[in-house]
Structures are given as C-alpha cells and as structure tokens.
Amino acid sequence: MAGLPLYRFLGEYRDKVPVYASSFVLEGPEAIARQALAVKQRGWHAYKVHPPGDFDLDLQIYRACRESVGPGFKLMADPVCAYDHSQALHIGRQLEKLDYYWLEEPLFDVDFGGLRKLASSLGIPICGTEVLAGNHHAIAECIATGVVDILRSDVS
C-alpha cells in the first residue's frame, strides 16, 4: 500500500554491502595470488584464501597473496580446520604481520578451548561457528566467552 519495497518500508539501513570472493582450488601460490589480484582489480572489497591445508604451502600462499594485492586490501584466511593449535598460533602470528583481516576456522569449531586460547593470544580476529552443529543456539555464548571474535552462521 505504501508503494515501497519492504526493505525501505522497514527502514533501509544501506543500499550497498561489502562483498568478498573466496578462492577456488588452484594450483600453487602464484595462481591463487593472481586470482586475489584479479578480484581486487574487479573492485571487490576483499578476498578469502582457502589454502590446501599444508602448513608450509599455506604460508607461501598467504604471503604471495599479500604481495600480489599490496597493502590496504582485505585478505582473510580460511584453512578449514587444517591446523593443530601450535600451527594455528604460528600461522595467526604470520597473518598479523601480513595484515590479514581475520583467520577463519583454523581449528574445528567444537574446539572451544583451543579457539579461546587463539582468540586471546592473537591480535587477528578469529572467525568461527559456521559449521558448529546447532550454532544458532551457541553463537551468543561463543562470543560472550571469547571462543571467537567474529561469527559465521549458517541457516542450515
């Protein structure tokens, strides 16, 4: 009746949102770094690296991506539970030096103690809870108790 789209009728907060691209499975650091640069050149806001889960190779990929896009462009790392706590701590410290925006799911989402230790030990935000079973019941507690700094939630 108002002749407005529902989002405007409810208060329209913004008309744009930042978006990021996630890496494909590509062969080697150079290919992923090229893709990150292409994403930046297309005007996207950020790029999330999904490395293969090999600690040394992942570190090469993280470095190559930063070198490719330069400073100031948001890069995120999502190793999809590939590391143990010691590796995640080391990678997190390297990502801080490389000015990555967040470290997502370095450990399994159910490793509350390990994630909490990482979140309290690192300056880079830890992102998680995306695949935590029943996460809509647990995410507030994860933030309140410092398990993660940033939430990813999934309606499924």
The pair of three-digit structure tokens given for residue 69, joined into one six-digit string: 């896009």
**Distance (Å, rounded) from C-alpha 8 to C-alpha 55?**
47
Would you state the pLDDT for residue 131?
A: 82
Fold of 17-151: TIM Barrel (3.20.20)
Q: Residue ranges per domain, the chain? A: 17-151
The pair of three-digit structure tokens given for residue 18, joined into one six-digit string: 């930042």
Asked whether residue 23 carries a pLDDT value surpassing 70, the answer given is yes
The tokens 């490793």 sit on which residue?
A: 111
pTM (2 d.p.): 0.89
H helix runs in the chain, sequence order: 6-9, 28-41, 55-69, 85-97, 112-121, 135-144
pLDDT, tens only, 45-72: 999 999 999 999 999 999 999 999 999 9
Asked whether residue 20 carries a pLDDT value surpassing 90, the answer given is yes
